[in-house]
Amino acid sequence: MTGEHKSPLPGQVSDFDIRLLRVFRAVAECGGFTAAEVVLGIGRPAISLHMNDLEKRLGLRLCQRGRGGFALTEEGRHVYEASLRLFASLEMFRSEVNELHHTLRGELNIGITDNLVSLPQMRITHTLADLKAQAPDVAINIHMDPPDAIAQGVLDSRLHLGVVPQVNLLASLETRFLYSECSRLYCANRHPLFDIPAEALETTDLHDYEAVVPGYPLPDTARAPHARLRGTATASDREGAAFLILTGSYIGYLPDHLAAPWKAMGRLRELPIDGGYYLTPFVVITRRDRRPNRVLEAFFEVLEKNP
């Protein structure tokens, strides 16, 4: 081809070009067409045809073949070395893409409503611990907000998921049940009901005592228990209710896990009245139309293993 006009490789390197280069590499490494037949699993005529096609594509003479034997030309040696770099890059690309299936990266933004860390059913805590062990490169960001703010954050895609009571949730949110939180009626050690015997409470009119009632939405199961109270104070969250109950001026409902430390210290007493409790289901919420997210899906896979 000396003295001829040599056209550069036209356009992008195609799958066809890569197949031809693989044949060329085998021929170069085997030292000829005949020896390459076994490696490639094709006959000598097919190999010769592929080599001719490659030389035409590159506009270069890659090897000398004939009675004098097989030998790479100077251009052929350069193309062979370049092909090795190409195949190494392709292999690196393949390895990196495959690694993505095993190594999770990115963020997980979670919204959690207040005062859940003391729950004995630590499904979220255990799930986050397992996820972090499985995917150490994932950044976990927790935002503590009221339930309605968490729901809005999920809908706005600022949060990947939220943990909230299953109360007044929009149909555009998908829910996964976590656990039920039990709330009971409590009074503080300064309250007149603190030392009354349990049997005497059965005839006690709760309307004689001031109570703190929630200023936040409640499940249907909480309506009847609160209807028995004379609400004279409100709280925007459970911690606020605890503050008021601990003053000794009010009775009110608190989650068992939130009241447990003060109960153990003798500062709170559960009032054992008939029907003096209710259950609040808690759920994980996500957008129904959320985009695929490998980190979020990994979280749910681990969550299912933490009942």
Instruction: Summarize pLDDT for 200-255 with one digit per residue, the tens.
Output: 888 889 999 999 999 988 999 999 999 999 999 999 999 999 999 999 999 999 99
Just give the CATH number of 180-281: 3.40.190.10
In which residue are the tokens 């044949």 written? 23
Residue intervals of the chain classified under CATH 1.10.10.10 are 15-100
What does pTM read for this prediction? 0.69
Other CB atoms within 10 A of residue 198 CB? 11
Cβ pair 137, 104 in contact under 8 A: yes
Q: Which class in CATH covers the domain with range 106-176+291-304?
A: alpha beta
pLDDT computed for residue 227 by the predictor:
92
Segment 98-144, tens digit of pLDDT: 666 677 888 999 999 988 888 888 899 999 999 999 889 899 999 99
Q: Supply the mean pLDDT for the chain.
A: 89
Cα 277 from Cα 183, distance rounded (Å): 5
Domain 15-100 is of which CATH architecture? Orthogonal Bundle (1.10)
Rounded CA-CA distance 167/147 in Å is 9
Residue for token digits 């959320």? Answer: 290
CA angle 19, 20, 25 (to 5 degrees): 100
pLDDT at 2 over 50: no
Quote the CA–CA distance of 258 and 113 in Å, as a whole number.
Answer: 13
Q: Where in the chain is the domain with CATH 3.40.190.10?
A: 106-176+291-304, 180-281
What backbone phi and psi angles, to 5 degrees, belong to 74? -60, -45
- DSSP of 241-303, one letter per residue? HHHHHHTTS-BEEEEHHHHHHHHHTTSEEE---TT-EEEEEEEEEEETTPPP-HHHHHHHHHH
